[in-house]
Structure 1
């Protein structure tokens, strides 16, 4: 009896120990597997980050974004079999350069000149959120810029901004693109944009009152609905293509080295109604952007901010910002979020370093 007892006790301990060790081993394997699956970097989803610097929603320049993520602004999500790169920007916080608006956005590391350009940017994306608040009379409210061409020189104006905008309560939003004049002379205060509708309305369609909205666009794009753009600049001409399943494909061209807005009489009616009343009534230099280095941008450049509409009725949204508290803005829907599935960039050999832009603006 004593011998059996002596033998059984060690066996019990051994068996128990093995079970515990096996359990720990399985837990470890599960933990290791979870750890291995935890991070998919944006550079694994869209492998083109050597061509860009990443600007974050806190105004900082994160530089090259290979093997990088920031859980507040830039990361990946998986949806079914597809990984998406997320760009997220609150209504308010620290901003990059002289802008009033936050952005989580890629800025091209090189610049190119339109007359000798052969450069191209493509993207397939969906907008997941625009600000829940804003003044409906302000044209920029509830909108986000998802792609740009920006000047690195002179006034640093923007010959292209691609917008998505959706009013509260609407199912469908609008996609439109802007051309901003490269203002003649040294004073850039008279600059203005001209907006062209792609699907839905253009920038100029606003509410009659702070919380009154225009009609929902019949041919608009919903939040979460995929669409694509292609931007090519070659021999001084910008060529734009936009596609989305179930929508008519749209194409546009714009000369970047010869202005059509070099006299006051050439200012279009849309601009006369939207910008001229607030003193933005400039004309463009004759050769437009011919003398300036240009570069692509891509991401979430939130156009809704907390600035008072009394400052500028087109660009100052008066939206909720909670004093810049990012967590609170995210909790209440006061941010812009854009998911990119694919993107590509082609850079001509004639492109040169864009370091000077970042030196000035970081």
Structure 2
């Protein structure tokens, strides 16, 4: 009997020890889970910078919508102009620029835009920029007769030298009340001579209309494009410059992929007879009727730009019917402009840059324009 009692007692003791050990393990697991959950919450709360979404490295300086140069945008954000957002489980980099405010360089327009810190020369270039984006807002106001109203530039090639003209600007433009907007690209001549006042752009449609399609009166809009891109609809561009040739590719789901090429070393516009009718209709009435130097952009350092370069401003159309929109700026009050839709906003999901070994420092451009 005593032996039986001893055995039972031993068994109870063993069971008790096992229960204690299991309880300890359970507590440890709960503690581990709690720690993991806490760590996850901390990770969730960690600031997500634009450079976490797109690898900028040190290829870019960031120009903000107040005209300032923020330098390399790594681990940087600005609540008014440059930050990240998550939509449908995808992270995006937001570039935002009001209709009116301080501008960078000699431009009339605000921009929140990346500018390449190196420049390359078209003849020796092997350089590339790609991006996937969607335009979320263009200005709610503007003069419909002004070609730049309701437009934003989302990618560029810019010259760093001489007149600092632009062999490429990629536009998105949508009139109020329209569902679909247009994507088009511009080539700006590198004006011959010492006077750049005669410079002009030639516009080529990608999807929808080109720059020249405007309203008949200040508040009368043209017909909506049948094949266009809506606000919030993704599209991509690829820009390659190699051996003096600029090659462009535009793609978007549900739309025909479009490709174009342009020689940056030899001009098509060396005489007045060469100037396209579109240009004569748009630019000649405002006195911009120059011709281009024979070697176009040969010998000039060029660089890429990417972001939201708002083309709508508050200057009077009487000054320039193509570029001065007469839009609402609330005397430069950014928050008031944001509140009533008088700004441009562009979201980028992807961007990449290829820089050739022949590229050199672009510091001189920033020294001159900052």
Length-normalised TM-score, structure 2:
0.89
Displacement of 1:39: 1.6
Distance 2:57 2:224 in 1: 37
- 2:84 corresponds, among 72, 76, 91, to 76
Distance 1:181 1:201 in 2: 21
Match of 2:131 in 1: 123
CA deviation map 1:90-140 (0-9, x unaligned): 000000000000000000000000000000000000000000000000000
Match of 2:227 in 1: 219
Distance 2:194 2:68 in 1: 29
- 1:361 corresponds, among 338, 350, 369, to 369
- 1:140 corresponds, among 144, 148, 153, to 148
Partner secondary structure for residue 50 of structure 1: coil
1:158 aligns with 2:166: yes
1:275 aligns with 2:283: yes
Distance 2:112 2:57 in 1: 14
The aligned runs of 1:207-286 (5 Å cut-off) are 207-286=215-294
Match of 1:39 in 2: 47
Contact map agreement 2:56 2:73 (CA 8 A) in 1: no
Distance 2:98 2:64 in 1: 11
Q: Runs of 5+ in structure 1 lacking a partner?
A: 1-25
Partner secondary structure for residue 281 of structure 2: helix
Displacement of 1:37: 2.0
Distance 2:264 2:43 in 1: 49
1:176 aligns with 2:172: no
Displacement of 1:80: 2.1
Distance 2:101 2:43 in 1: 32
Distance 1:192 1:293 in 2: 20
Displacement of 1:297: 0.1
Displacement of 1:49: 3.8
Length-normalised TM-score, structure 1:
0.91
CA deviation map 1:43-69 (0-9, x unaligned): 010012410000000000000000000
Distance 1:115 1:186 in 2: 23
Q: Runs of 5+ in structure 2 lacking a partner?
A: 1-33
CA deviation map 1:299-335 (0-9, x unaligned): 0000000000000000000000000000000000000
Partner secondary structure for residue 63 of structure 1: coil
Partner secondary structure for residue 289 of structure 1: coil
1:200 aligns with 2:208: yes
**Alignment length (residue pairs):** 335
Distance 1:88 1:267 in 2: 35
Match of 1:348 in 2: 356
Contact map agreement 2:155 2:306 (CA 8 A) in 1: yes
Displacement of 1:33: 2.8
Runs of 4+ in 1 over 6 A off after TM superposition: 29-32
Displacement of 1:36: 5.0
1:188 aligns with 2:227: no
